[in-house]
């Protein structure tokens, strides 16, 4: 099966386990057939649970309790599940890019699938499973809003939403460490380390696209933040963001 057809089959797969297996099975990326034949009404593939609610309706729980740690793990697992779909969507939706673009985002999808499986296994060790808590749909809504332009997608998904994970994960890790949950702490540390590379991939392709369109990247990024009403909220993980390719003028 052509690479992007295989990626689309994984994207529309609803069962989380089968989706992860399908991602792992995708071969080497290439710029094969265009996406015009894909049935976008089937996107994204996701299970009937978790129930999706407004972000303000997602219950907040103290990490000092076992239920609070389960809820945190579930929230992160939901982010990683959406991140699988986001990476696959980038592979499938945008035509005419260099083969390395598709290879990069397939590599991200594989990482996100591995992260999801680690988190789900930990949830199961703690007596629950993915789908047992409500979640919100903010990440996928961002994919829909940026589906018209790959440059906007690269600016606002990896470089805003996924980069936010670089900022908030150290605080989560500190609270998990205080609770003495070493297995969860190890998973979060792995995710934080690998998400730097994912954001860096977004930075690379954002700048590539700016160069191909004759746009100055810093001004373009700041302009898109303003156009879409996005603010970067402190505290920012400046070290991780710098390793992911951000420059000071983009963070002020």
Cα 164–Cα 167–Cα 173 angle in degrees, nearest 5:
120
Concatenate the DSSP letters of all residues of 31-42 into one string: --S-GGGS-GGG
Q: How many domains, in total, are found in the chain?
A: 1
Specify burial of residue 214 (Cβ count, 10 A radius: 0-12, 13-18, 19+). exposed
Q: Name residues whose C-beta falls within 8 Å of residue 200's C-beta, 6 or more positions apart in sequence.
A: 243, 244, 245
| Rounded CA separation 151/221 (Å) | 10
- Residue 113: what pLDDT? 97
Query: So what's the pLDDT on residue 67?
Result: 84
Q: What is the pLDDT of residue 69?
A: 87
CA 218, distance to chain mean position in Å, is 22
- Is the pTM higher than 0.85? The answer reads yes
d(CA 36, CA 140): 21
pLDDT in tens, 120-135: 999 999 999 999 999 9
Please give the residue range of the domain that contains residue 204. Answer: 3-251
What pLDDT score does 249 carry?
A: 94
pLDDT tens per residue, the chain (252 residues)? 778 889 999 999 999 999 999 999 997 545 454 555 788 888 899 999 999 888 777 777 666 678 888 999 999 999 999 999 999 999 999 999 999 999 999 999 999 999 999 999 999 999 999 999 999 888 899 999 999 999 999 999 999 999 999 999 999 999 899 989 999 999 999 999 999 999 999 999 999 999 999 999 999 999 999 999 998 888 999 999 999 999 999 987
pLDDT of residue 35: 52
Residues 130 and 81 sit within 8 Å (Cβ to Cβ): yes
Of 232, 18, 2, give the one whose Cα is nearest residue 10: 18
């Amino acid at each position: 099966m052509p690479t992007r057809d295989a990626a689309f089959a994984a994207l529309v797969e609803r069962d989380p386990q089968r989706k992860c297996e399908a991602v792992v099975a995708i071969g080497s990326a290439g710029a094969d057939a265009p996406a015009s034949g894909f049935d976008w009404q089937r996107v994204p593939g996701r299970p009937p649970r978790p129930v999706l609610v407004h972000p303000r309706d997602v219950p907040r729980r103290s990490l000092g309790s076992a239920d609070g740690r389960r809820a945190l793990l579930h929230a992160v697992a939901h982010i990683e599940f959406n991140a699988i779909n986001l990476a696959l969507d980038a592979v499938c939706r945008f035509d005419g890019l260099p083969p390395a673009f598709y290879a990069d985002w397939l590599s991200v999808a594989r990482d996100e699938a591995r992260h999801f499986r680690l988190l789900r296994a930990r949830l199961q060790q703690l007596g629950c499973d993915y789908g047992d808590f409500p979640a919100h749909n903010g990440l996928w809504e961002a994919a829909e809003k940026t589906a018209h332009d790959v440059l906007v997608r690269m600016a606002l998904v990896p470089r805003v939403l996924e980069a936010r994970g670089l900022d908030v994960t150290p605080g989560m890790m500190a609270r998990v460490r205080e609770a003495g949950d070493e297995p969860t702490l190890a998973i979060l540390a792995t995710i934080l380390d690998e998400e730097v590379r994912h954001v860096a991939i977004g930075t690379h392709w954002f700048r590539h696209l700016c160069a191909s369109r004759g746009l100055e990247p810093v001004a373009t990024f700041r302009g898109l933040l303003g156009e879409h009403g996005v603010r970067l909220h402190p505290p920012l993980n400046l070290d991780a963001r710098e390793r992911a390719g951000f420059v000071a003028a983009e963070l002020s």
